[in-house]
């Protein structure tokens, strides 16, 4: 049966399309602009977007399994239309904070998505990554201009994951049995501090990048100047503070399900070094 990948040109969805194509699975990709999507020729392309429910009935025709990109605002519309179309299985991208979300955090939307999908009666699987390695691309501007990163909580130790590992797990879950009703919490293979991440970027560049530690107040001002809402900044800083006192631990799920170690942050930094050059 053809698999519908929503958000097929998004950060995870696009990588998932390639994983499924490589495995020989039939794929229908939902994208806003098929002409610009540059998807593999084997892929059936459907024009549409989760945020425009009127585009979904045609995309859902004949579909049994859906990879659901996260869009809480329209998830109820998706559930209704997917049930009407006869969709049996939904593999949804969620987050590690979905069970007990803090107000103002991304977990609020993930909880909404999971609840809607569960109550929709599908055979569901939730993929729950924590921090993305790609988040540190936010450092690129000051690294390129000054070879410096300014953040609070340099010793905050988390387990960021590469987007390609999320896609690999998603493909495995879609193509194999035994994952119905599972909540897979995904992480990178090692815990790493913010200071160590900067050191890895420095090593990839072959040039020193300085970590300049900010106070929490200074970090709040910096993020406010970047347009980050105060409640989100507080949630993020609370997270960094928590993982300073309670270092995160890898879950091992990527290796368990894919049979290979996940990408390390040093490997990610080397692969993405041009973003910081």
Tens-digit pLDDT profile for residues 38-71: 899 999 999 999 999 999 999 999 999 999 999 9
Average pLDDT over residues 25-30: 98
Tens-digit pLDDT profile for residues 79-122: 999 999 999 999 999 999 999 877 778 899 999 999 999 999 99
* Burial annotation 43-66 (CB, 10 A radius, 16+ → b, else e): bebbebbbeeeebbeebbeebebb
Tens-digit pLDDT profile for residues 218-246: 999 999 999 999 988 998 999 999 999 99
pTM tops 0.85, yes or no: yes
Task: Determine the 3-state secondary structure of 46 from DSSP.
Answer: strand
* Residue pair 269/192 in contact by the 8 Å Cβ criterion: no
Give the Å distances, CA to CA, from 271 to 133, 162, 207.
Answer: 12, 11, 16
Q: Note the pLDDT of residue 37.
A: 83
Report phi then psi at 124, rounded to 5.
Answer: -110, 155
Percent of the chain with pLDDT over 90: 92
Tens-digit pLDDT profile for residues 174-228: 999 999 999 999 999 999 999 999 999 999 999 999 999 999 999 999 999 999 9
Q: For residues 151 and 174, what is the distance between their CA atoms, to the nearest angstrom?
A: 38
């Amino acid at each position: 049966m053809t698999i519908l990948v929503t958000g097929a040109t998004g950060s995870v969805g696009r990588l998932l399309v390639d994983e499924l194509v490589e495995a020989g699975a039939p794929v229908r990709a939902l994208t806003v602009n098929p002409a610009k999507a540059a998807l593999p020729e084997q892929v059936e392309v459907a024009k549409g977007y989760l945020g425009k429910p009127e585009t979904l009935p045609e995309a859902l025709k004949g579909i049994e399994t859906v990879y659901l990109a996260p869009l809480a605002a329209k998830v109820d519309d998706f559930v209704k239309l997917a049930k009407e179309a006869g969709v049996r299985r939904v593999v949804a991208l969620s987050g590690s904070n979905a069970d007990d979300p803090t107000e103002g955090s991304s977990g609020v939307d993930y909880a909404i998505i999971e609840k809607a999908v569960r109550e929709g009666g599908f055979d569901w699987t939730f993929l729950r990554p924590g921090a993305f390695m790609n988040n540190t691309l936010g450092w690129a501007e000051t690294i390129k201009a000054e070879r410096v990163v300014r953040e609070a909580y340099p010793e905050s130790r988390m387990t960021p994951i590469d987007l390609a590992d999320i896609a690999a797990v998603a493909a495995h879950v879609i193509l194999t049995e035994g994952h119905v009703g599972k909540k897979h919490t995904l992480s990178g293979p090692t815990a790493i501090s913010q200071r160590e991440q900067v050191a890895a970027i420095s090593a990839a560049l072959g040039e020193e990048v300085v970590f300049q530690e900010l106070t929490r107040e200074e970090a709040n001002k910096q993020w406010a100047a970047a347009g980050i809402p105060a409640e989100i900044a507080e949630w993020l800083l609370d997270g960094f503070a928590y993982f300073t006192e309670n270092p995160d631990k890898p879950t091992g799920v990527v290796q368990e399900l894919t049979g290979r170690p996940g990408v390390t942050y040093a490997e990610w930094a080397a692969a993405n070094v041009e973003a910081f050059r």
